[in-house]
Amino acid sequence: MACSAALDDRKLIDGHGRAIRYLRISVTDRCDLRCRYCMAEEMTFLPRSELLSLEEIALIAERFITRGVRKIRLTGGEPLVRRDMIELARRLGRQVGTGLDEITLTTNGTRLADHAEALAEAGVRRINVSLDSRDPETFRYITRHGQIDRVLAGIAAAKAAGLAVKINMVALKGLNEDEIAPMLEWAVAEGHDLTLIETMPLGAIEEDRADRFLPLPEVLARLRSAFDLIGDAHVSGGPARYLRVAGTATRLGLISPLTSNFCATCNRVRLSTDGKLHMCLGHDDSVDLRAAIREGGLAAVDLAIDTALGRKPERHDFNIVRGAAPAVARHMSVTGG
Ligand code: SAM
Ligand code: SF4
């Protein structure tokens, strides 16, 4: 068997020559909201016994860092509903500057007011907060019961704690499309970035996603009539294309997997709540790192990662077609958005 020094040298290059530098970890598939495009109203969550422990997540993440991952995002489900989330952020935060460039978080913001300070102390510098509407009624409708005040208080607390905030907004036809320009105006006024996202066909929900699908090129054309948007060279290590609102610090990101494929530059893999390593959001294939770490320790994890790299698909084939089944049965909350 290879010695650990040799394993450390085994950098993460997939079968298509892409270097993997970004790991997303879904720390829980549970959530305190039920966004209509993301989840069904009645969801069956994984039994707690199937989840990776904090120690297992940390050991696997540290292995990825040793092998070249530079950025880790903690997500879910709602990461802040997991009790030991801050402890995990603290542990991984200690790796920032020694291999890891940054640790970030994607949250719905409902519990952010309570945790923003602790996240900043843990070494988190930037977070994404999902906010599909600033109108209380529309927000409640989209999330099925969410209270906008709590999220806005969370965003304010994050800002006060010194965290840079990027707002994530899924563009939804007939639901929030008239709020996109006002959201960008608000983001500029508050000093946040804004990323718009096309709805993706992941997991069964009550609605037909085709009814809500809003192509971002259409949205961008409308925004251009109200804002001076200029190209921005910023590279986030993600699929977003960036523009800057002229004369401001605000970046507008566009994640458009349906209308413009970004797979050629994909640099990421995803660890699910139950320890499956998913090489692509749009495919079912995964490698079981929970079994590997429990049965063979870190050496087995390394071998499983190698297997996964060899199987990373070249691209997803998302398509939003009325009446069609989702591209994959898994919801985004399991693998982490
Ligand atoms: N609960 C946290 C939140 O909402 O920010 C983190 C997890 S959530 C799955 C991460 C991101 O995925 C959110 O910005 C959410 O809007 C987005 N998302 C969820 N389901 C999606 C889907 N089917 N298509 C596109 N984006 C989706
Ligand atoms: Fe929960 Fe985030 Fe999915 Fe909304 S998008 S249901 S907040 S996991």
If you measure from the C-alpha of residue 31 to the centroid of ligand 2, how many angstroms do you get, rounded to a whole number? Answer: 6
- Tell which residue, 80, 68, 134, has the closest CA to residue 106: 80
Nearest residue (CA) to ligand 2, atom 3: 38
238 lines ligand 1 (CB under 6 A): no
Q: Which domain holds residue 86?
A: 2-335
* Atom number in ligand 1 closest to CA 205: 23
Name the pTM for this structure: 0.93
Mutate to test the pocket of ligand 2, among 33, 37, 41, 45 (most ligand atoms within 8 A of CB): 33
- For residue 1, what pLDDT is reported? 41
Cα radius of gyration rounded to whole Å, the chain: 19
293-298, Cβ contacts within 8 angstroms, sequence gap of 24 or more: 293/56, 293/59, 293/60, 294/56, 298/59, 298/63
Tokens of 70: 């530079």
- For residue 336, what pLDDT is reported? 72
- Tell which residue, 124, 126, 120, 149, has the closest CA to residue 136: 149
34 lines ligand 2 (CB under 6 A): yes
H-helix segments, 34-179: 54-66, 85-93, 112-122, 136-143, 148-160
If you measure from the C-alpha of residue 197 to the centroid of ligand 2, how many angstroms do you get, rounded to a whole number? Answer: 14
CATH number of the domain at 247, please: 3.20.20.70
* Atom number in ligand 1 closest to CA 26: 7
Longest dimension (CA), the chain: 61
Identify the residue whose tokens are 């109203």.
41
- For residue 74, what pLDDT is reported? 97
pLDDT in tens, the chain (337 residues): 444 444 445 789 998 889 999 999 999 999 999 999 999 899 999 998 899 999 999 999 999 999 999 999 999 999 999 999 999 999 999 999 988 999 999 999 999 999 999 999 999 999 999 999 999 999 999 999 999 999 999 999 999 999 999 999 999 999 999 999 999 999 999 999 999 999 988 787 888 888 899 999 999 999 999 999 998 766 655 667 899 999 999 999 999 877 766 777 788 899 999 999 998 887 878 999 999 999 999 999 999 999 999 888 777 766 766 777 776 777 888 877 7
Mutate to test the pocket of ligand 2, among 42, 43, 78 (most ligand atoms within 8 A of CB): 78
* Atom number in ligand 2 closest to CA 39: 6
Cβ contacts of 196 within 8 Å, gap of 6 or more: 169, 170, 171, 180, 216, 219, 252, 253, 254, 255
Dihedral (CA of 194, 152, 84, 294) sign: negative
User: How many Cα neighbours within 13 Å face the side chain of 261?
Assistant: 10
Cβ(220)–Cβ(162) under 8 Å?
no
Instruction: Give the count of domains, the chain.
Output: 1
Indicate the angle between helix axes 112-122 and 148-160, nearest 10 degrees. 30
Mutate to test the pocket of ligand 1, among 129, 169, 208, 332 (most ligand atoms within 8 A of CB): 332
- For residue 241, what pLDDT is reported? 86
**DSSP secondary structure, 217-255, as one string:** HHHHHHHHTTS-EEE-----SSS-EEEEETTSS-EEEEE
* Atom number in ligand 1 closest to CA 333: 9
